[in-house]
Amino acid sequence: MDRQMISRLAHAHHPIAAPVSDGAVATLLERALAPEDEGRVLDLGCGQGGWLLRALVARPRWRAVGVDLDAAALTRARESAEAAGVQRRLGLHHLDAREFTAREPFELILNVGATHSFGGLLPTLAAAREHLAPGGRVLVGECFWECEPSSAALGSLGSAREEYADLATTVDRVVADGWTPVFGHVSSRPEWDAYEFSWTGSLAAWALDHPEHPDAADARAAADLHRAEWLHGYRGTLGFVTLLLRRD
């Protein structure tokens, strides 16, 4: 079973592919969209479009563009947009986010849980800046270390210690890069637990519901492995912060 299929099944009940609750998403978007009645929002790594759909529903005069490499996730985003009646204000591009170009800049740029597509947090902010309108904002979601990672935590994530920093260092680096955090959200332990139980539980439930499917055993094994890696590995060690940024 390929990773994209696993991810789609795992996010069936938690379309935001990050440990951020619906309430926190609403609050972050409210702050991010607040200054203008109308505008354009770009999501570089939009997945199923969870952030963009919520933005378009909340703001009838905003338009949105989403970019992602996962064609099936984009199909899901399109279907959800049609169900919500916002499809005319949403453009979706099946493309590497590093290759996306646009004629006009955007008032808001999102990249939540997808900084790896640009090689890390600061390269992601540099890429976002290329598309940002004067006075615009960036909403970026990135992992950090809640505490010093054990070798079990690093092994379960397949990460190096240097891949992330602690929260203070993460924010310091962003500030040193010329950005000002104007809002932010640190995912709580209950948000992480809800996300991981939903991820592993949705995948395991699909396997139980489709015992004859040729991918059922793979799905079950992926759910079991992910749950073990989380509970025995990175739970309480990996943090997630979503920052709303402006340029100085």
Name the residues that contact ligand SAM, by CB under 6 A. 16-18, 45-47, 50-51, 67-70, 73, 96-98, 112-114, 117
CA-to-CA distance for 9 and 34, rounded, in angstroms?
33
Report the residue number, 68 or 107, with the smaller CB distance to ligand SAM. Answer: 68
Nearer to ligand SAM by C-beta: 118 or 206?
118
- Residue 126: CB minimum distance to ligand SAM, A: 15
* Side-chain half-sphere exposure of 27, counting CA atoms within 13 A: 12
Q: 70 vs 142, which CB is nearer to ligand SAM?
A: 70
Q: How far is the CB of 7 from ligand SAM (least distance, A)?
A: 7
Q: Which residues contact 30 (CB under 8 A, 6 or more apart)?
A: 58
Report strand pairing: 238-247 vs 179-186: antiparallel
Q: Say which amino acid occupies 241.
A: V
246: CB partners within 8 A, 6+ apart: 135, 136, 137, 138, 179, 180, 182
Residue 163: both structure tokens together = 């891949």
CB of 207 to ligand SAM, least distance (A): 21
Closest to ligand SAM by CB, 99 or 209: 99
**3-class SS at 141?**
strand
Quote the CA–CA distance of 76 and 92 in Å, as a whole number. 11
Smallest distance from ligand SAM to CB 123, Å = 12
Q: How far is the CB of 96 from ligand SAM (least distance, A)?
A: 4
Interatomic CA distance for residues 128 and 93, integer angstroms: 16
Sheet of 179-186: strands edge to edge? 90-94, 62-68, 39-44, 106-112, 132-145, 238-247, 179-186
Residue 112 beta carbon to ligand SAM: minimum distance, rounded to whole angstroms: 4
Task: Select 69 or 216, whichever has its Cβ closest to ligand SAM.
Answer: 69
Nearer of residues 51 and 230 to ligand SAM, judged by Cβ: 51
* Cβ 5 to ligand SAM shortest distance, Å: 12
Residue nearer to ligand SAM on the CB measure, 68 or 191:
68
Alpha-carbon distance 154 to 151, whole Å?
5
- By beta carbon distance, the residue nearest ligand SAM is 47
Strand 62-68 to strand 90-94: parallel, antiparallel, or no bridges (unpaired)? parallel
